[in-house]
Amino acid sequence: MTHRIDNKIYKAALYCRLSKDDDDRNGDSSSIQTQKSLLERFCRGNGYLIHDFYVDDGYSGLNFDRPDFQRLLTDIDNGTVNMVITKDLSRLGRDYIQTGYYTEIYFAKKRVRYIAVNDAFDSNRDDNDIAPFRHILNDMYAKDLSRKVKSAKRQRALNGLFISSQAPFGYMPCPDNRNLLIVDEPAAEIVRRIFALSLSGYSAKKIAEILTAEGVITPGVYKYQQGDTRFVRYLKDGKNRWCYETVQTILKDRVYVGDMVNHKAEVANYKTKQRVMLPQNERIVVENTHQAIIDRGDWLTVQQLVHARHKAPHHNFENIFRGMVFCADCGSRLCMGTKQRNGKYYHHYRCNNHYLNPDKCPKPHQISYTVLYQNILERIQQLTKAVENDEEFYALVQIKTADNLPPDSALKERYSIEKRMAELSGKVRKLFDSHADGVIDDRNYEMLMKDIHAEQENLEQKLSALQSKISQQHNTEISIEQFRETVRECLNVTELTPYILNKLIAKIEIGCLETVDGQKQQVVSVWWKITC
């Protein structure tokens, strides 16, 4: 082993680094205090003058844009220090390309001696051939760690845990379990107001204007007031102002119906740490993981409204049926048209697909706004009058039970199937014992067992189908009762509003105006909001 002899007086910079992952895996053995003690003892034992400690606590070895590392480079450029000492090569960095640049090129160019104590690396020695391989191993460690962290996060996401750094507006992490979201009531009230305004027919832009005019606190300012200093910028330059993008983000977020959406973005490269947003179909969604702020049916309605075309009102006219009127033949959304006669404006809906693609929609479908308004108002009034009468109510909303199978009959059939399956299980045990005792030969045993297995499979299929019907009936009953409660809220209605329509109606289909027996007739079908 040979050393290059020099008569320099060294002023040593003792550099310490610890990432969160190093702390979790190695405990006190790699702690900042441990590194400081080791480097200080090393300097005293070799007579090196300590200029200063440079500490980056909580920084990855793949990132060289660390505060104290940059301060170290500045001091090297200024000639303040001429020696750098670390506990090992991985403390300097884990990216083998950049770490190799500093150990092989940068320090040599600046005439700085570099020592990694535990790896026995000294740039003044000529036996450092193993160092590049150590850099590669350190890089491979970082890559392997990144892969394991990704896998662990994905598993937590699949379990429906909250794993983000910030809770969505309207929620906060549970004090006893940070992976669970609980409702933050003051913020949740603002979220409910936003959805109510959307159900009332207001666009995201209009909602933002209303909230700003009323002085409603924005999510950024609210989070700062709750102690998150990262949002201090929202207090400057009149930032307590709502923008429509924020409103749209809230309206589209599934978290408000109790679903956890994770894996919205991923790190494309473990070195650059650049995050790439993922499409909706690649995100991990787990339903019903926390308390909902918004009813699921209302949320689905809002999604239709958000994705519908938003236009300014025609001639101060509010289109209360926006996004819910469709062609009965081709299924496309009807567009609103306006005509002027004698100084008055008349509004109507029509299927543009008929005019653009007559081969796909051969008949014209259109209806006057006034006619449609009166038709729907009368239907809702009939519905409110019949809400307490099962027969009339079911007839109006056209409810049918699953395959018209009465609930009592379904339960009796399920009991009969389960009883027969228990009998067959008993027969299997007896048949097995008889075969074991030699009472039944192999040929008859296999034939009888085959018949029993076939009957068991047939019964299992019947039981599965029957259970599905029973569950569907149960869900239908729940859905009907929820819809009834919504109808009760609309008793004595005398005029239609977007809120009422969006609560009660999923869509309206307009048929073609036809002449039957000398009279003009047009079918208007209403799809009520009953999920059955």
Q: What is the mean pLDDT of the chain?
A: 81
**Given a cut of 60, is residue 176 above it in pLDDT?**
yes
In terms of pLDDT, which residue wins out, 13 or 406?
13
For residue 499, is it within any domain? Answer: no
**Given a cut of 90, is residue 187 above it in pLDDT?**
yes
Q: Could you tell me if 366 and 468 lie in one domain? A: no
Assign residue 122 the CATH number of its domain: 3.40.50.1390
Q: Could you tell me if 213 and 249 lie in one domain? A: yes
Q: Could you tell me if 128 and 257 lie in one domain? A: no
Write the CB contacts of 98 (distance below 8 Å, at least 6 apart in sequence).
64
**Given a cut of 70, is residue 34 above it in pLDDT?**
yes
**Given a cut of 60, is residue 532 above it in pLDDT?**
no
Structure tokens at 455: 């009957």
C-beta neighbour count of 452 within 10 angstroms: 14
Mean pLDDT of 159-163: 81
SS3 168: coil
Domain-terminating residue out of 98, 114, 149: 149
Query: What is the pLDDT, as a whole number, of residue 39?
Result: 93
Query: What is the pLDDT, as a whole number, of residue 391?
Result: 80
For residue 165, is it within any domain? Answer: no
Range of the domain at 257: 171-306
Q: Could you tell me if 290 and 187 lie in one domain? A: yes
Query: What is the pLDDT, as a whole number, of residue 4?
Result: 47
**Given a cut of 80, is residue 367 above it in pLDDT?**
yes
| Distance between CA atoms of residues 89 and 212, nearest Å | 54
Q: At what angle do helices 244-252 and 204-213 cross, to 10 degrees?
A: 120
Q: Of the given ranges (73-82, 238-247, 376-385, 423-432), which has the lowest mean pLDDT?
A: 238-247
**Given a cut of 90, is residue 68 above it in pLDDT?**
yes
Choose among 280, 277, 252, 256: nearest CA to 267: 277
Q: Could you tell me if 212 and 231 lie in one domain? A: yes
**Given a cut of 80, is residue 261 above it in pLDDT?**
yes
Q: Of the given ranges (16-25, 182-191, 316-325), which has the lowest mean pLDDT?
A: 16-25
Q: Could you tell me if 21 and 83 lie in one domain? A: yes
In terms of pLDDT, which residue wins out, 511 or 151?
511
Mean pLDDT of 15-43: 77
Quote the pTM value.
0.51
Query: What is the pLDDT, as a whole number, of residue 402?
Result: 37
Q: Could you tell me if 45 and 176 lie in one domain? A: no
Choose among 512, 508, 511: nearest CA to 528: 508
Q: DSSP assignment, residue 495? A: S
Q: DSSP assignment, residue 30? A: G
Dihedral sign, CA of 343, 349, 353, 355?
negative
**Given a cut of 70, is residue 56 above it in pLDDT?**
yes
Share of the chain above pLDDT 90, in %: 21
Helices and strands per DSSP (H, E), number in the chain: 18, 19
Assign residue 223 the CATH number of its domain: 3.90.1750
| Distance between CA atoms of residues 204 and 202, nearest Å | 7
For residue 209, is it within any domain? Answer: yes
Backbone angles phi, psi at 484, to 5 degrees: -60, -40
Q: Could you tell me if 290 and 326 lie in one domain? A: no
Q: Could you tell me if 409 and 511 lie in one domain? A: no
Q: Could you tell me if 129 and 178 lie in one domain? A: no
Helix, strand, coil % in the chain, rounded to nearest 5: 50, 15, 35
For residue 6, is it within any domain? Answer: no
In terms of pLDDT, which residue wins out, 351 or 518?
351
SS3 18: strand
**Given a cut of 50, is residue 400 above it in pLDDT?**
no
Query: What is the pLDDT, as a whole number, of residue 371?
Result: 92
For residue 396, is it within any domain? Answer: no
**Given a cut of 90, is residue 84 above it in pLDDT?**
yes
Domain-terminating residue out of 273, 306, 339: 306
For residue 164, is it within any domain? Answer: no
For residue 55, is it within any domain? Answer: yes
Highest-pLDDT range among 49-58, 435-444, 508-517:
49-58
Query: What is the pLDDT, as a whole number, of residue 498?
Result: 86
Query: What is the pLDDT, as a whole number, of residue 275?
Result: 65
Q: Of the given ranges (137-146, 242-251, 476-485), which has the lowest mean pLDDT?
A: 137-146
Query: What is the pLDDT, as a whole number, of residue 147?
Result: 67
**Given a cut of 50, is residue 267 above it in pLDDT?**
yes
Q: Could you tell me if 317 and 291 lie in one domain? A: no
| Distance between CA atoms of residues 371 and 202, nearest Å | 24
Mean pLDDT of 77-104: 88
Query: What is the pLDDT, as a whole number, of residue 423?
Result: 85
Highest-pLDDT range among 19-28, 349-358, 388-397:
349-358
User: Sorting pLDDT into bands at 50, 70 and 90, what band is 266?
Assistant: low
Question: pLDDT for 91-140, tens place per residue?
Answer: 998 887 888 889 888 998 999 999 998 888 888 887 666 666 666 666 66
Q: E strands, 304-449, where?
A: 325-327, 335-341, 344-350, 366-368
Domain-terminating residue out of 115, 149, 183: 149
**Given a cut of 90, is residue 14 above it in pLDDT?**
yes
**Given a cut of 90, is residue 338 above it in pLDDT?**
no
Choose among 330, 322, 376, 368: nearest CA to 351: 330
Query: What is the pLDDT, as a whole number, of residue 239?
Result: 58
Mean pLDDT of 225-243: 70
User: Sorting pLDDT into bands at 50, 70 and 90, what band is 403?
Assistant: very low
Write the CB contacts of 317 (distance below 8 Å, at least 6 apart in sequence).
338, 345, 347
Structure tokens at 408: 């009592």
Question: pLDDT for 282-326, tens place per residue?
Answer: 788 888 899 999 988 888 888 888 776 555 555 567 788 888 899
Mean pLDDT of 347-359: 87
Q: Could you tell me if 175 and 69 lie in one domain? A: no
Q: How many domains does the chain have?
A: 4
Q: Of the given ranges (28-42, 274-288, 431-445), which has the lowest mean pLDDT?
A: 274-288
For residue 395, is it within any domain? Answer: no
Per the CB < 8 A criterion, the answer to whether 476 and 532 are in contact is: yes
| Distance between CA atoms of residues 132 and 138, nearest Å | 10
